[in-house]
Structure 1
Amino acid sequence: MSPEAGGAPAGGDGSIAVAAIDLGATSGRVMLGIVHPGAPARLELHEARRFPNVLGEREGHLSWDVDALWEHIRAGLVAAGELARQMDLEGISSIGIDSWAVDYALVGPDGTRIGEVIAYRDARTDGVADSVARTVPRERQFALTGIAQQPFNTLYQLAADDRLAGLPEGSHLLMVPDLVAFLLTGQRCTEITNASSTGMLEAAAPVWSPELLAAARVPERTAPDAAASGNAGGSGAAGIDPSVLAPLVAPGEQIGTVLPDLAAELGIGEVPVIAAASHDTASAVVAVPAPEDGPVAYISSGTWSLIGLELSAPITTEAAREAGFTSERGVDGTFRFLKNVAGMWLVSESIRQWEEDGAHVELDGLLAAAAAVPGGQFRIDPTDPQFLAPGRMADRVAAAAEVLSGDQEFPRTPAQLVRCILESLAQTYRDELHAACRLARQPLPERLHVVGGGSRNALLNQLTADALGIEMIAGPMEATALGNVAVQARALGAIADVPGAMRAAVRASVTLETFAPTLP
C-alpha cells in the first residue's frame, strides 16, 4: 500500500506520530502522520477524521462555521491519538495546522471571538481595493509586498470591517490556522507564510508595513465607550493599529502546548503545537519532491492551479505585477513566486451541469474518452473571468471555444469538451511557466512537479509535458498534509535540519510518475 494511503503500522523502531490539521475551503481533515527514522526518514499518512467546511449567511455576511470546525478538529485529534496507540505508539508527539489564506478571526482580550469569521467570498470588499489604491497606489502596494492584489486580500477585508472601530484594547486578529492554535494553546501568533498572503507584510523583511496599515482606513468608531477604551482598532483617520496584529512566528517554531484541561479531554497529552507552513500552498510546496540541484518549478493542482517557482528572494517589479504573479513567503526564507490560474474547476463544474441534466458521469471514464478524442480541435482561455462563477459551465465553455481545426462549430460531446479544457489548461501552464522564468530571469527547468489532487490526471499531465517539452513529475497527491508533517518532524528532530532533508523524506515515502514529452 502507498505510504500516502497508509502503509504498514509503525513498530518499535523509534517512529513517532504527529497530527496534521488540514483545513480546506470545502472540507477539512485531521491526518495522522507517522515518521519512521532513517536517512532519509520515511513518512506515511493515515486519515483520522474528515469533515465538511460549509459557508453560510451569519450576521449579514457569508461566513465560516468555525465553531463546527473546532468540534470536528477536537474529534479528529481524539481519533488521531487512538489511531496512534493502535499502531503501538504512545500517542501523538505534536500538532500542526494549515488552512486556506486571507480569512481571519477577531479575538478579544478575554479570548472570546468577536463576531464571525467572514469568508473571502463575501461581498463586503466590493470596490475596497480601489479605495485603498487612492491612498497607496497599486504599484506601490506591490513594490512593498510583492503580493497580487486580489479583491479579497486581508488588507481589503480589514478596510471594510466595521468591527475594528469598536475593538477593546488587547484584541487581536488571528488568521484561521492561528485561531485553531490559539484554541489549542491559548497563545496568540501569526505564522509568516499565511501572514504574507494578507497584502500587509513587507517583502523585504517579515514585518508589517506601516504605510499599508495606515491605508486601511477602517470605519469610524461607533461603540459608545470606544473613546474611553483606548480602542486598538483605530479609526477612519488612523487605519489599523499594529497592536491588533499578533507576533509573527516562522514554520517550525513551537507556538505552545495543548492546554491542560483540553489535553485531558482529548486524551492526547500536553503536546507541543508547532507552527507548520500554515498557508496550505506553502505546505504543499514543502512536499514537492524535487532534487537538491536546480530550480524548483511546481503546480499545486486541484480546483485551482498554482504554478510557479521556488525562489530565494521576492520579485516586486512592475512587470511581475502586471503579469499577475505574487511572491508569497515559504519555508526557510524561500518565496513562492506563482500565479493562480484555472484548474479542474472547469471540468468539475461541467460534470455538475451534465449530472443536473440527468446524465451519469464518472471522471475516470470521461478522461479516458477525452484521451481518445483527436487533439487540436478547440481552444478556450481558461483564465477568462466568465468562467469564475458556477453554473452551466459546459454551455459556457462550448460557446467560448475557438475552432482550430475540423468542421464542427463547437465541442458537441463531453469528451470533446473535456479535451478542449485540458489542452487549454496545458497551454496556459506552458505560458505561465515561461512567464515566471522570464520574470525571474531563469532558464526553463528540466522538469515540472505537479502535486495535489490534480497530479492524478494523467491526460492533463501528458498534455502539459507535451506543451512544455519537459518532464512532468506527478505526486504526491497528499502534498499539503505531507508538508505539514515534514515541518513538524524536523522541529522534533525526526528529520535532519539540513537543506533538502524534508524533500528527501517525501521522495522516500511516495511513488512518483514521470510523463516525458512525446511530441517533437
Structure 2
Amino acid sequence: MTVSQTFLAVDLGASSGRVLAARFDGRRIDLYEEHRFPNGPVAAMGHLYWDVLRLWSEIQDGLRSARHTHGNTIASVGVDTWGVDFALLDRDDQLVGNPYCYRDPQTQGITKPAFELVPKAEIFAESGLQFMEFNTLFQLWALKRANSQLLESARSLLLVPDFFHFLLTGEKANEFTDASTTQFLNPQTRQWSRDLLSRFELPAEILQTIVEPGTQLGHLLPAVRDATGLGSEVQVILPGTHDTASAVLAVPANGVGGERPDWCYISSGTWSLMGVEVSQPIVTDQCQSLNFTNEGGVGGTIRLLKNISGLWLIQECRRIWARQGREYSWDQLTGLAEQAAPLRSLINPDDPRFVAPVDMPAEIAQFCRETNQPVPDTEGAFIRCAMESLALRYR
C-alpha cells in the first residue's frame, strides 16, 4: 500500500500570497489551500517597500495550518515569488533594510545614464533580458549612485524567494530561474556576468552560488520546526522560484519548442507574461529591438517572453474603490464588466503612468481624455476597458 505524502508550496504574488498543500497517494494529487493572505507594497518616506517580515509570519501561519491538517505526511516545502526584487543581509546575516518594491521611484529614468556607461546592446548581449527600469541591475546601480549605506553594509544578496528559503533553512543560494530576472546573469553560461557587474562598479561578492530548480537546500531550522510543528524530516526543495517558471512548467503542452515552437503561453497575474519555451537563449538584434526577454525555465529551458502590465490595472482600481467604501469581489467585477458596452475605450497597459499611480481609475480616465475617447463612467466600464486593452495587447 502506498503511503500518502504531502508537499507544501508557498506562492507569493504582488497582491496576495498563499500556502498550498499537494497530497499524493501514488495515483492522484489533491490540492488544499491552507492559508491565503494579502500582499502589497508599503509606502514610507517616499519609497515603496515589501513587508517581508509580515510575509514570513503569514508563511509560518500557513505551515502550522498544514501541519494541523496533514500531520507527519509532509515531506517538503518550497517558495516561489515574483522576480527582480531582493533582500540585502549584513555580515551578521541580518536584514540591512526592508526590500524595495520594484515599483519604487528610485529607478525612474535610470536607463539613459546606464546606457551611457554601458551601451544597451552590450548589456543585452550579456544578459538577454528585456529592458525594464526596475530590473535588479538598475535597482542596485540606483543604490550605488546614491552612495547608499544599504549597499555598503551588504554582505549577501538574496532574491526574495531565496530570502525565505534562507529563513527556513539558514542556507544561502540564488536559484537559477529567479536569478535570470536580474539582468546580470548570462543565459549562455548560466552564471553571473561579473564583467557587467564590474562595469557598473557593483559588488559581485555579495552574490551566492547559482543552483537549479529541484535542489535540496536543506532541512528546517530548529526554530522553524518549533514555530510550525513540522518535523526534522521535512526538506526544503527549491522549485522554479520565479513564479512564472513554475507556472510554465505546468502548461499541458508536450516538449520544448525549437526555432518555431508550436505553442505559447500567457501567464497572467499582476503582470502578464506571454511567450514560448525554447531550448537555447535567443540573443539577437531583432530580439533586443522587440524588447523580448530570455528568462530561465525549469529543466534547463529558456522562457522567451514579453512582459506586459497585467491584472495590476484591475487590482489597483479595486483597491481605490475599496478605499472609497465600494468593495467588490472579483466575480462581481467580472459581472459588472459583462454589463458594460464593448470596445468603447482602450488604453495602452504599458504606458508609464500606470506603473505606480496614486489613483488608477483617475489615470485611466485621463488617458481616455487625452486620446479623445469616451471616459468610463461606471466601475464595469473601467474593468471592461482594462480587460479589453489587455486582450488587444496580447494580440
TM norm. shorter chain > 0.5: yes
Once residues 184 and 352 of structure 1 are traced to their aligned partners in structure 2, the CA distance between those partners, rounded to angstroms, is 32
Partner of 1:156: 138
Is the CA contact (8 Å cut-off) linking 2:34 and 2:62 kept in structure 1? yes
Partner of 1:249: 211
Once residues 304 and 54 of structure 1 are traced to their aligned partners in structure 2, the CA distance between those partners, rounded to angstroms, is 14
Once residues 100 and 346 of structure 2 are traced to their aligned partners in structure 1, the CA distance between those partners, rounded to angstroms, is 37
Is the CA contact (8 Å cut-off) linking 2:14 and 2:270 kept in structure 1? no
Matched, 1:62 2:64: no
Partner of 1:263: 225
Partner of 2:388: 423
Question: Which amino acid letter does the alignment assign opposite residue 235 of structure 2?
Answer: P
In the TM superposition, what are the counterparts of 1:274-353 in structure 2 within 5 Å? 274-292=237-255, 295-352=262-319
Deviation at residue 330 of structure 1 after TM alignment: 0.8
Question: Which amino acid letter does the alignment assign opposite residue 263 of structure 1?
Answer: R
Once residues 382 and 18 of structure 2 are traced to their aligned partners in structure 1, the CA distance between those partners, rounded to angstroms, is 33
Is the CA contact (8 Å cut-off) linking 1:82 and 1:91 kept in structure 2? no
Deviation at residue 36 of structure 1 after TM alignment: 3.2
Partner of 2:73: 91
Question: Which amino acid letter does the alignment assign opposite residue 212 of structure 2?
Answer: A
- Residue among 20, 35, 53 paired with 2:39: 53
Is the CA contact (8 Å cut-off) linking 2:8 and 2:74 kept in structure 1? yes
Question: Alpha-carbon deviations, 1:345-383, whole Å to 9, x = none?
Answer: 333444555566666755535534544556454433333
Structure 2 portions without partners, runs of 5+: none
Deviation at residue 314 of structure 1 after TM alignment: 1.7
Question: Which amino acid letter does the alignment assign opposite residue 78 of structure 1?
Answer: R
Once residues 361 and 397 of structure 1 are traced to their aligned partners in structure 2, the CA distance between those partners, rounded to angstroms, is 19
Identity, % of aligned positions: 41
Local SS of the residue matching 1:300? strand
Local SS of the residue matching 1:106? strand
Deviation at residue 111 of structure 1 after TM alignment: 2.6
Local SS of the residue matching 2:134? coil
Is the CA contact (8 Å cut-off) linking 2:276 and 2:303 kept in structure 1? yes
Once residues 317 and 427 of structure 1 are traced to their aligned partners in structure 2, the CA distance between those partners, rounded to angstroms, is 26
Once residues 379 and 76 of structure 1 are traced to their aligned partners in structure 2, the CA distance between those partners, rounded to angstroms, is 40
Local SS of the residue matching 2:273? strand
Question: Which amino acid letter does the alignment assign opposite residue 52 of structure 1?
Answer: P
Compared CA separation, residues 120 and 399, structure 1 to 2 (3 A): closer
Once residues 92 and 328 of structure 2 are traced to their aligned partners in structure 1, the CA distance between those partners, rounded to angstroms, is 51
Partner of 1:24: 13
Is the CA contact (8 Å cut-off) linking 2:169 and 2:218 kept in structure 1? yes
Structure 1 portions without partners, runs of 5+: 1-11, 218-238, 431-520
Partner of 2:129: 147
Is the CA contact (8 Å cut-off) linking 2:82 and 2:242 kept in structure 1? yes
In the TM superposition, what are the counterparts of 1:377-392 in structure 2 within 5 Å? 377-392=344-359
- Residue among 130, 145, 149 paired with 2:112: 130
Local SS of the residue matching 1:131? helix
Question: Alpha-carbon deviations, 1:107-130, whole Å to 9, x = none?
Answer: 234332333322222233334433
Once residues 177 and 118 of structure 2 are traced to their aligned partners in structure 1, the CA distance between those partners, rounded to angstroms, is 23
Q: Which has the higher contact order (CA 8 A, sep 6+)?
A: 1
- Residue among 168, 171, 186 paired with 1:184: 168
Compared CA separation, residues 274 and 409, structure 1 to 2 (3 A): closer
TM-score, with length taken from structure 2: 0.86
TM-score, with length taken from structure 1: 0.67
Question: Which amino acid letter does the alignment assign opposite residue 15 of structure 2?
Answer: T
Compared CA separation, residues 111 and 423, structure 1 to 2 (3 A): closer
Bigger radius of gyration among the two: 1
Paired residue total: 385
